[in-house]
C-alpha cells in the first residue's frame, strides 16, 4: 500500500508558518493585505472566495472583498484593479476566475501589477519563472513542490512526467520540476502511447480534468503519483484524475482527493501574499 501524502497536514504547517511571519511583520507595523475580486455569482467561485477569506482570517492576513455584478463592464473591473495597484496598503490582488464571457481574462490578468499578482498568472511572473528569476509562482504547482519536498520525495535527477499542459498547472509545474533538477516530460491529449510515457515516471503528476483516467497501467511500481484533478465520479462524488483505489496498490506514494493537492493551493496563496508584503517592504517591487 502506498504512502498517503497528507496535503491537509502539510498545508496546515505552511499556514502556521505564514501566520507566525505575518505576526512578526505586524509587530514591525506592517499589515499584510489581500484584495479579492469576484465578478458575478458563480457558486463555485463563491466557495473558493470564502475559503480564501477563511485562510486569510486564520493567518492574520487582512482580506478586502470586492464583488462586482456579472453585468459589470470590463472597464469597471480594470478601473478597480488600477485603484488597488496604486494603494500602498494593498499587497496582493486576486481576481477570481473564470470571468463572465464578455470579459477578456488575459487583459484583466495583465492589468494587475506583477508585484501584486499573488496568483502568479501575469505574463511577467510566468516569464520570470521560465528564465529562473524571482517572481510569484502559480499556487497549485508551487504547492506540489512543497508537498513532494515535505514528504521526503526527491526530485533532482528523477524522471518526472506531467500529464496536462495548461497555463495554470501543467506548464508552470514542468518549469518548477526542471528548476528542481528533475528530468521532465510534458504529456497531453496528443501524446502517443501515453501509458508507456507515464510508466517512465518516478514522479507522475496528473492534471487532465478526466475523472479516474489514470489506472495502474499508467504507473511504474513505486512511483509517486500526484493527482491535481477535482472531478466528479459517476455518483457525483468528488474524485481526482487518478483511480485512487487501484493505483494506491502499486504506487510508492499518492495524494488523495480530497485532502491532497487541493488544500495546498490556498496555503501557497497565503505564502505568496506574505512574500508580496515582504518584497514591497524591502523595496523589491517590480511593477
Ligand atoms: P485544462 O486547462 O482543461 O487542461 C487539461 C490538460 O489535460 C490539457 O493540457 C489536455 O491536453 C490534457 N488532457 C486532457 N485529456 C487528456 C487525456 N485523455 N490524455 C492526456 N492529456 C489529456 O485543466 P487544468 O486547469 O490544468 O485543470 C486540470 C484539473 O485540475 C481539473 O480537474 C481542475 O479542476 C483541477 N485543478 C485543481 C486545482 C487544485 O487546487 N487542486 C487547481 C487547478 C486545477 P491538450 O492541451 O492537448 O488539450
Strand segments, DSSP code E, in the chain are 3-4, 33-39, 62-68, 92-95, 159-163, 183-187, 203-206, 224-227, 231-232, 238-239, 253-254
Q: pLDDT at position 283, please?
A: 82
Residue 286 has pLDDT above 60, yes or no: no
Q: Is 189 in the pocket of ligand 1 (CB under 6 A)?
A: yes
Which residue reads 501509458 in cell numbers?
Answer: 195
Residue 96 is among the residues annotated as catalytic for this protein: yes
Q: For the whole model, what pTM was predicted? A: 0.96
β-strand pairing of 33-39 with 62-68: parallel
Q: Is 168 in the pocket of ligand 1 (CB under 6 A)?
A: yes
State the pLDDT confidence band at 190, using cuts at 50, 70 and 90: very high
Q: Name which of 189, 137, 139 is nearest 164 in CA terms.
A: 189
Residue 52 is among the residues annotated as catalytic for this protein: yes
pLDDT digits (tens, 9 = 90+) for 25-48: 999 999 999 999 999 999 999 999
Q: pLDDT at position 285, please?
A: 61
Which H or E run contains 56? helix 43-59
Q: Name which of 145, 146, 147, 127 is nearest 135 in CA terms.
A: 127
* Angle, in degrees to the nearest 10, between helices 170-179 and 123-130: 30
Average pLDDT over residues 126-132: 96
What is the per-residue burial (b if ≥16 Cβ within 10 Å, else e) of 49-75? beebbebbeebbbbbbebebeeebebe
| Helix, strand, or coil (residue 92) | strand
pLDDT digits (tens, 9 = 90+) for 146-159: 999 999 999 999 99
Q: Which residues contact 178 (CB under 8 A, 6 or more apart)?
A: 184
pLDDT digits (tens, 9 = 90+) for 82-105: 999 999 999 999 999 999 999 999
Residue 119 is among the residues annotated as catalytic for this protein: yes
pLDDT digits (tens, 9 = 90+) for 242-268: 999 999 999 999 999 999 999 999 999
Rounded percentage of the chain residues whose pLDDT exceeds 90: 97
pLDDT digits (tens, 9 = 90+) for 218-249: 999 999 999 999 999 999 999 999 999 999 99
**What distance in angstroms lies between residue 187's CA and the mean position of ligand 1's atoms?**
11
**Ligand 1, pocket-test mutation among 98, 230, 240, 258, most atoms within 8 A of CB:** 230
**Spatial separation of the C-alpha atoms in residues 112 and 122, rounded to whole Å:** 7
Amino acid at each position: 500500500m502506498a504512502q498517503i501524502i497528507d496535503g491537509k497536514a502539510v498545508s496546515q504547517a505552511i499556514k502556521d508558518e505564514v501566520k507566525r511571519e505575518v505576526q512578526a511583520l505586524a509587530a514591525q507595523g506592517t499589515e499584510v493585505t489581500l484584495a479579492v475580486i469576484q465578478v458575478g455569482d458563480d457558486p463555485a467561485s463563491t466557495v473558493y472566495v470564502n475559503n480564501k477569506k477563511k485562510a486569510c482570517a486564520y493567518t492574520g492576513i487582512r482580506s478586502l472583498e470586492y464583488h462586482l455584478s456579472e453585468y459589470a463592464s470590463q472597464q469597471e473591473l480594470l478601473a478597480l484593479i488600477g485603484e488597488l495597484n496604486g494603494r500602498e496598503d494593498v499587497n496582493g490582488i486576486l481576481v477570481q476566475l473564470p470571468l463572465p464571457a464578455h470579459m477578456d481574462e488575459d487583459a484583466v490578468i495583465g492589468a494587475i501589477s506583477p508585484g501584486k499578482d499573488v496568483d502568479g498568472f501575469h505574463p511577467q511572473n510566468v516569464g520570470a519563472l521560465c528564465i529562473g528569476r524571482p517572481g510569484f509562482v502559480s499556487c497549485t504547482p508551487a504547492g506540489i513542490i512543497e508537498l513532494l519536498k515535505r514528504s521526503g520525495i526527491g526530485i533532482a535527477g528523477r524522471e518526472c512526467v506531467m500529464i496536462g499542459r495548461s497555463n495554470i498547472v501543467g506548464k508552470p509545474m514542468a518549469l518548477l520540476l526542471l528548476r528542481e533538477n528533475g528530468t521532465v516530460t510534458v504529456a497531453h491529449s496528443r501524446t502517443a502511447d501515453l501509458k508507456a510515457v507515464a510508466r517512465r515516471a518516478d514522479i507522475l503528476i496528473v492534471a487532465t480534468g478526466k475523472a479516474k483516467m489514470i489506472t495502474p497501467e499508467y504507473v511504474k511500481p513505486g512511483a509517486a503519483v500526484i493527482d491535481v484533478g477535482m472531478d466528479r465520479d459517476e455518483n457525483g462524488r468528488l474524485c481526482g484524475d487518478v483511480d485512487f483505489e487501484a493505483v494506491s496498490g502499486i504506487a510508492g506514494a499518492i495524494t488523495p482527493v480530497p485532502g491532497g493537492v487541493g488544500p495546498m493551493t490556498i496555503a501557497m496563496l497565503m505564502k505568496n501574499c506574505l512574500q508580496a508584503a515582504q518584497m514591497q517592504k524591502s523595496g523589491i517591487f517590480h511593477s
